[in-house]
Structure 1
Amino acid sequence: MASRAIVPSQQPGGEGKLKNMQPEGRNRRVLQDIGNLVAKRAVEGKPHHAKALAKAQAAAVNNEKPIKEAVDAVAGKGRAATKVVVPKKIVLKKKPIPEEVIVISSDEEDEGKSAGGRKAREGSSRKHGKTFTSTLTARSKAACGLTNKPKKPIENIDATDVDNELAVVEYLDDMYNFYKHTECASVVHDYMVNQPDINAKMRGILVDWLIEVHRKFELMPETLYLTINIVDRFLCVKAVSRRELQLVGISSMLIASKYEEIWAPEVNDFVCISDNAYVKEQILVTEKAILEKLGWLLTVPTPYVFLVRYIKASIPSDQEMENTVFFLAELGTMHYRTIISHCPSMIAASAVYAARCTLDKTPFWTETLEHHTGYSEDQLKDCAELLVSLHSAAAESKLKAVYRKFSCSDRGTVALLTPAKSLSSKSLNSFST
C-alpha cells in the first residue's frame, strides 16, 4: 500500500521555500528525486496534467533529452505553469591518488630547478627509470673508486673479556678518555734549548743504553716507557751536565722499576751495570731530586698505555703484528724529534698504522681502529712516514739496541722486514738523532 505524500500548500512566497529545500534533494538519488517531485505536483494539479507530465519525463529520459525542456513542454499546454525545481545531478569524482615521484639522477633535479621548483603533477603516469646520464655517472664513480660502500660495523674488541674481572671492561672507555684528556699535561716540549751541556744526540745515546739495560734486567715493557718519560720530563725542568746524564738515566729506571715491577732491581745492580761510574749515595740523591721536581707524578699515559689498547683494536692481530708495532714504537721513542712533535697516543696509533702497512694488512686503517684511537688515516700519515724512515735507517744507524733486540728470533726478527712501501720514505737529514 503506497503511503500518501504530504505536500505543503502553495502560499505566497512558497517558491522561495521550495528553493530553500534544494539541498535536501541533493542528498537523494537523482531519478527518485524527479519522481517524488512529479508525484507531489500531480496531487496538487489536475490529473491530465500529471499524466502528461509523467509521459514527457519518461520520453525525455529515454531520448536522453534535458529534463528541463520536457517539463517546459508539458507546462506550456496547461493553464497555469507549475514551476518544478529539478535538482542537479551531482557526480562525486574520486580524487586520484598522487603517484610517488622518485628522483634517480641529478638530471631530474636540474629539470625541477629550471621549472621553478614546480611539483610533479598528480595522476602522472610517467614511468621513472634510470637515465642514460645517471648510468654513465654511476659507472664513472665505480671506475674511480668513489662508489659509496657500506661501512663495516665497529667490532667489540672487549667481548671476550666480559667475564674477566681484571679486565674491568665497564671502565675501559672512561679510562682511555681520561688518558687522552690528560696526556697533553705530560707532553715533552723542546727542552734542548735550555740544556747548555747536552744535545739530542746525547739523549739518543742514553736511551739506546737504557734499552740494553732494560733487556739485561728482563724488565716489563711498561718500565722502559716510563723510564724514558721520567728522563724527558726531568730534563724539561732541570739543566743537567754531560757527566750527570747517565746518572739521571739509571735513577729514572730505578724509580720506574719500583713503580711497575714486582721484583725491582736493587741500587747496587745499577751501580754494577754502570761500571761503578757512580756510587749508591749519588743514585739515591738523584732519585730524590727527580721525584721532587716531578711532584711525585708517576701515573702518566706513556705510549705503552695506548699501544696495548690499539694493538687489541687492530683486528686481526698476531704475534708478528705485536712485535712490529713495539719495534716501530721504540724507534720513535729514541728519536728526539718524534717525542717532542707528537703526543704518546699519536705515536702509538702511528706505530700500529705503520706496522699494518709493513705487513700489508688491508685495509691499512679500519673503522674500529679509528673509533678507538680517535685518529683518521690522514692524521697519522706524517708520524707513520717518520717511523718507517727510522725503520729504513735502523740497520745503518750507530744506535743499534732496538735493531738488535727485534732481530732476534724471540721477537720474530721483525727488524729484518722490508719497510712499508705504501708510505713514502722521508729523509732523516733534517732531523737530529
Structure 2
Amino acid sequence: MATITARPNTQAVESKQGAIIKKRSAIPTTRSAFGDLDNKLPGGVKADKGGMLRQKAATNLRKPLATKQSNVPVKTRVGSKTDVPTKPTLSKAAVQKQIAPKKLLKPAITESPVAMVMGTPIKEQADCNVFAIGLNPAIENIDENDSENPQLCSEFVNDIYHYMLYLESEYPIQRHYLKDTGVKGRMRSILVDWLIQVHHRFNLLQETLYLTIAILDRFLQVHQVPRAKLQLAGVTAMLLASKYEEMYAPEVSDYVYITDKAFTQSQILSMEILILKTLDFSLGKPLPLHFLRRNSKAGQVDASQHTLAKYLMELSLVDYDMCHVAPSKLAAGSLCLSIKLLEDSEWSPTLEHYSRYSKEDLQPVVCHLAKNLKSADTNTYQHAVKSKYSNSRLMKISQIPEIKAPLVSELAEQAANHKL
C-alpha cells in the first residue's frame, strides 16, 4: 500500500490565477439595436440607449380595438313580442333555495387512514414519536428552551431522530460479513487505518470519515472485491463521501496522487459508478456523530467528555468485530464510558430516554470500547487515531491519565464474555 508523501500546494497558485478578472471594454459601440441581427423593428418602435423599447403612438394602445364591418347580411327576427317566452315567477322560498350554497359531501372513509411519519407507516398515534416524554418527571425536556432558535429545529427534532433510527435499520451491516470472501478482517483494519491518515491529510470533516467507512462496509458486504482492488474501493468511498459532505471536495487527481498512482482516474470513476449502482444511490445512512451530539446535549456533558467519546468511536472504526454495531448504539456506548471515566456518573434516565438504550443494553459495547482503548498503545492499526487525538486541537485526549484507570482494564477483560 502506498505511503503518503507531501505534495506541493498548487491550490494557492490556482486561486491567485483565478482572481484575475478581465475588464470589459469601455469602448462604446455604434451598432443600432437589433440592426446587425437582421431583425429590424417596426417603424413605430424605437430602441432607447438603455435597451427599453418605446412606441411613438403609445396612446393608441389604450384605445379599444375597432371591429370590422361584416358584409354578411343580418337576418331580422320575425315575430311578435308575444312569441318570446317569459320567465316563470318563483316563490320567495324557491329563490332562497337557489341562492343558498350547496353543501360539499365528504367522501366516505371505509378504513382508518395509516399515518405516515417521516417515511415510516405507523398505525397508532402513540407510536409516532418514540421520544415522547410522557408522565415521567425524571426525564428532562432538553428542547424546551430552543424554540427561539430556528436552527435547532426544536419543533420536529424528535421526528428527525425518529426517522434516523428508521434509516439505521434500513442499512444494517452484517456481523463478520467478510467471512466467505477473500478479504480478511485484518486487511480491512489496514485499509481503514490508511483512510484515517488520508482523511487527516486532506483535512476533511469528521462526517466524511464515518460516511467513508459506512459506504465501504455496505459495498463490501454485497460485492466481492479482490485484494488488489481493496484500496481502490477505499479511496472511491472517500471520494463519494467527500462529494456528499464537503463543500470543497478533493479532486479525482488528488486521490490518484495519494495512492502513488496505483490507480488511474478512469479506474476510480468506474469504481464510483459500481458503488453507486450497488448501493442504489442511497448514501444517507445516519452516522454515530449525529447521535452523539444529541446524547451529549441530553447528558449536558462538557467538551472533554464529548471529545473522549469521539476518540472511542474512532478507535472502533478500525475494529472489524465492531463494524456491525448500530451507529446509535455505538454513540451511546462511547458516551456512557466517557462520562464513567471522567465524571464517574451513571447513565441517567434522560440519557436512556433520548438514546433509546439502557445501561444493560450498552454493557457489551462499553466493554469492547474499553478493550480498544487499552490496546491503543500496542495495536499498530490504531496508531493513526491515537496520534490524531494527541493534538492540542483535540485537547490531547489520548494522553489523559483517566484512560489508563483500572476500570478500563476491568471492562476490557469482560469483553470476551459479552457478545456484540
Instruction: Give the TM bin, normalised by the shorter chain.
Output: 0.5 to 0.7
Matched, 1:302 2:287: yes
Q: Size of the alignment, in residue pairs?
A: 277
2:256 is matched with which residue: 239, 254, 271?
A: 271
User: In the aligned structure 1, how far is the partner of 2:266 from the partner of 2:417?
Assistant: 41
Q: Secondary structure at the match of 1:193?
A: coil
Give the match for residue 311 of structure 2: 327
- The residue type equivalent to 2:153 in the other structure is V
Matched, 1:347 2:330: yes
Cα offset for 1:352? Answer: 0.5
Greater shift after overlay, 219-228 or 174-183?
Answer: 174-183
Give the match for residue 89 of structure 2: none
Q: Identify the structure with bigger relative contact order (alpha carbons < 8 Å, sequence gap 6+).
A: 2
Give the match for residue 318 of structure 1: 302
Q: Deviations over 1:356-377 (max 9, x none)?
A: 1121242x21111011001111
Report if aligned partners of 1:194, 1:239 keep a CA contact under 8 Å in 2. Answer: no
2:394 is matched with which residue: 411, 415, 418?
A: 411
Q: Percent identity?
A: 37
1:171 is matched with which residue: 153, 156, 179?
A: 156
Structure 1 unpaired stretches of 5+: 1-150
Cα separation, partners in 2 of 1:430 and 1:286, compared to 1, 3 Å: farther
User: In the aligned structure 2, how far is the partner of 1:303 from the partner of 1:204?
Assistant: 19
Cα offset for 1:153? Answer: 2.9
Report if aligned partners of 2:374, 2:412 keep a CA contact under 8 Å in 1. Answer: no
Cα offset for 1:164? Answer: 1.8
Cα offset for 1:246? Answer: 0.7
Cα offset for 1:422? Answer: 4.1
1:260 is matched with which residue: 240, 245, 251?
A: 245
Give the match for residue 209 of structure 1: 194
- The residue type equivalent to 1:318 in the other structure is D
User: In the aligned structure 2, how far is the partner of 1:426 from the partner of 1:257?
Assistant: 35
Cα separation, partners in 2 of 1:353 and 1:429, compared to 1, 3 Å: closer
User: In the aligned structure 2, how far is the partner of 1:358 from the partner of 1:406?
Assistant: 17
Cα offset for 1:415? Answer: 1.1
Q: Secondary structure at the match of 2:156?
A: helix
TM-score, normalised relative to structure 2:
0.63
Give the match for residue 243 of structure 1: 228
Deviant stretches of 4+, over 6 Å: 428-431
Matched, 1:358 2:341: yes
After superposition, the CA RMSD in angstroms is 1.9
Cα offset for 1:268? Answer: 0.8
User: In the aligned structure 1, how far is the partner of 2:145 from the partner of 2:396?
Assistant: 29
Q: Deviations over 1:343-394 (max 9, x none)?
A: 11111100010111121242x2111101100111111111111101110110
User: In the aligned structure 2, how far is the partner of 1:338 from the partner of 1:161?
Assistant: 35
User: In the aligned structure 2, how far is the partner of 1:401 from the partner of 1:152?
Assistant: 44
In the TM superposition, 1:20-419 aligns within 5 A as: 153-189=138-174, 190-196=176-182, 198-315=183-300, 317-340=301-324, 342-362=325-345, 364-399=346-381, 400-417=383-400, 418-419=402-403
Q: Secondary structure at the match of 1:207?
A: helix
User: In the aligned structure 2, how far is the partner of 1:263 from the partner of 1:276?
Assistant: 22
Q: Deviations over 1:10-33 (max 9, x none)?
A: xxxxxxxxxxxxxxxxxxxxxxxx
User: In the aligned structure 1, how far is the partner of 2:161 from the partner of 2:340?
Assistant: 25
Cα offset for 1:429? Answer: 8.0
Structure 2 unpaired stretches of 5+: 1-135
- The residue type equivalent to 1:231 in the other structure is L
User: In the aligned structure 2, how far is the partner of 1:152 from the partner of 1:360?
Assistant: 24
Q: Secondary structure at the match of 2:256?
A: helix
User: In the aligned structure 2, how far is the partner of 1:183 from the partner of 1:210?
Assistant: 23
User: In the aligned structure 2, how far is the partner of 1:383 from the partner of 1:263?
Assistant: 35
